[in-house]
Amino acid sequence: MLKRLDADSWVPGRRASLEDVYPAVNDIIENVKANGDAALFEYAKKFDRCELDSLLVTEDEREDAYEDVDPKIVEYLIEAESRITEFHEYQKKEDLWLRQLHPGITLGIKTTPLNRAGCYIPGGRASYPSTAIMTVVPARVAGVESICACTPPPANSMTIAALDIAGATEIVRAGGAQAVAAMALGTESIEPVQKIVGPGNVYVTAAKILLRGNAEIDFPAGPSEICIIADESANPSFIAADILAQAEHDPNAACVLVTTSESLADKVSADVKMMAKSAPRAEIIEKALTNSGYIPAADLKDAVSISDRIAPEHLSIQVSDPLPVLSAVRNAGSIFVGPYTPVACGDYASGTNHVLPTAGYASVYSGLNVSHFCKTSTVQIIEQEGLEEIGDIVEALAEAEGLFAHSESVKIRRK
């Protein structure tokens, strides 16, 4: 059931599915650029089978959404939001950090939130109220005043309630590449945003990449992935359950087991086969499993090197002594350590963010966090004493570069 994979073809394979949809996504972007809201209504009908009267969710619709949702689920969304906020508050930096590093020379960092951010909340093959919280909370904690959230029509009540709980200032019924284009370019109903964050399928992710010249993005966060590093001590059923949990997201999801134990690989494979048969989303899982498999590792050092080449969205470490493996890992979006840490806990309620780079991008990007919604300015306050300390250096280096006005701007103050 789980086929043998090659670590070095993993990342090119993951990126190929994105590149395949660039032509279709470019057409959608051009249509939104030319026709604004009308294009969003057209795509709602075409892709989401939804005849819309309006794009924006009203205050009354927000209130009504709570009535549609099981009160226990509302209570759990509130509890999850509070745990996620608690963890993200720790990521917040001081507004202004100043230190005197040398006599008369004070340096610092001023942190300022973005004014307006756009959050994409997927809603095609599943609804994602959890992603509503994961995208809006870090923006709110950072201090972003205007937070626009787009989700495919008709916009599920649970997702609207979650967006309200998290603090979205605007909720728009628009999905796919067209929603990303609307947030990046603006339409009659949607003011353009400075940055677009959030996950989605290949169309959403391709649109984010293609529209980077108009709005900055967090990173490519496409179809879900898991890599599990396991030795012979691991529980095969736990691993199989974690594989199915990511596979059920999308036919383009992918799962890989990197193991020092061939017999564990056989047991996981048998469990995956058995569990997939009776899974409610068996059809999606079967397709995702065709992108999935196992890679044998000579030892745990080799396993880490393989996992680092994959740079997975989620890395689960299932070995008898996990901390040395954790220390050695360099590339992973989010790391789950030990048998009682299923990825699903990070998906919903432990407090970490589940919006994470996929397709090998965890080698260069961090998962969504408060700093994605802030920018920093360096600050310096130099007094006469400090100017004397570095004046000769600045004047001489400026003259060596042939930039005499730079040198003079220092000299004039030292006379």
Ligand X SMILES: NC(=O)c1ccc[n+]([C@@H]2O[C@H](COP(=O)([O-])OP(=O)(O)OC[C@H]3O[C@@H](n4cnc5c(N)ncnc54)[C@H](O)[C@@H]3O)[C@@H](O)[C@H]2O)c1
What residues are annotated to the active site? 313-314
Whole-angstrom distance, CA of residue 33 vs CA of residue 13:
31
- Closer of 357 and 386 to ligand HSO (Cβ): 357
Binding mask 342-371 for ligand X (x = CB under 6 A): ------------xxx-x-------------
List the structure tokens of 154.
């008709």
Q: Does 128 bind ligand HSO (CB under 6 A)?
A: yes
Nearest 5°: phi and psi at 97?
-115, 120
**Count of all residues that appear for the chain in the document:** 415
The residue with its CB nearest to ligand X is: 176
Whole-angstrom distance, CA of residue 263 vs CA of residue 159:
42
- 384 appears as a binding residue in the annotation: no
- Mapped onto helix, strand or coil, the DSSP state of residue 89 is helix
| Cα Dmax for the chain | 84
Question: Residue 47: which of ligand HSO, Zn ion, ligand X, none does it interact with, CB under 5 to 8 A by kind?
Answer: ligand X
> Judged by CB under 5 A, which of 48, 81, 313, 347 binds Zn ion?
347
**Which residues make beta-bridge pairs with 149?**
119, 171
Please state the closest distance from residue 349 (CB atom) to ligand X, in A. 15
- 178 appears as a binding residue in the annotation: yes
Q: Does 14 bind ligand HSO (CB under 6 A)?
A: no
- Closer of 164 and 347 to Zn ion (Cβ): 347
**Binders of ligand HSO in range 229-248 (CB under 6 A):** 246
Contact 3, 293 (CB under 8 A): yes
Please state the closest distance from residue 378 (CB atom) to ligand X, in A. 31
Sheet containing strand 170-173, edge to edge, reads 170-173, 146-151, 116-120, 195-197, 216-217
Burial class of 317 by CB neighbour count within 10 A (0 to 12, 13 to 18, 19+): buried
Contact 105, 380 (CB under 8 A): yes
Binding mask 312-351 for ligand HSO (x = CB under 6 A): -x---------------------------------x----
Whole-angstrom distance, CA of residue 48 vs CA of residue 63:
24
> Judged by CB under 6 A, which of 11, 109, 126, 279 binds ligand X?
126
> Judged by CB under 6 A, which of 9, 19, 20, 24 binds ligand X?
24
Who contacts 125 (Cβ-Cβ below 8 Å, separation ≥6)?
201, 249, 250, 284
- Over its C-alpha atoms, the chain yields an Rg (Å, rounded) of 25
Phi-psi region for residue 357, left (φ > 0), alpha (ψ -120 to 50) or beta?
Answer: beta
- Closer of 265 and 368 to ligand HSO (Cβ): 368
- Closer of 47 and 394 to ligand X (Cβ): 47
Question: Residue 24: which of ligand X, Zn ion, ligand HSO, none does it interact with, CB under 5 to 8 A by kind?
Answer: ligand X
Q: Does 386 bind ligand X (CB under 6 A)?
A: no
User: DSSP label at 2?
Assistant: P
Binding mask 242-281 for ligand X (x = CB under 6 A): -------xx--x----------------------------
Contact 316, 336 (CB under 8 A): yes
Binding mask 176-215 for ligand X (x = CB under 6 A): xx---------------------xxx-xx-----------
- 354 appears as a binding residue in the annotation: no
- Mapped onto helix, strand or coil, the DSSP state of residue 239 is helix
> Judged by CB under 6 A, which of 17, 111, 135, 224 binds ligand HSO?
224
Instruction: Choose one: 123-131, 137-145, 151-159, 187-195; the region binding ligand HSO (CB under 6 A).
Output: 123-131
Single-letter amino acid, residue 321: D
- 246 appears as a binding residue in the annotation: yes
CA 17 to chain centre: 18
Question: Residue 113: which of ligand HSO, ligand X, Zn ion, none does it interact with, CB under 5 to 8 A by kind?
Answer: none
Please state the closest distance from residue 117 (CB atom) to ligand X, in A. 16
List the structure tokens of 100.
């005197």
> Rounded to the nearest 5 degrees, what angle is found at the Cα of 27, between the Cα atoms of 23 and 33?
140
Binding residues for ligand HSO (CB under 6 A): 128, 130-131, 224, 246, 313, 347, 354
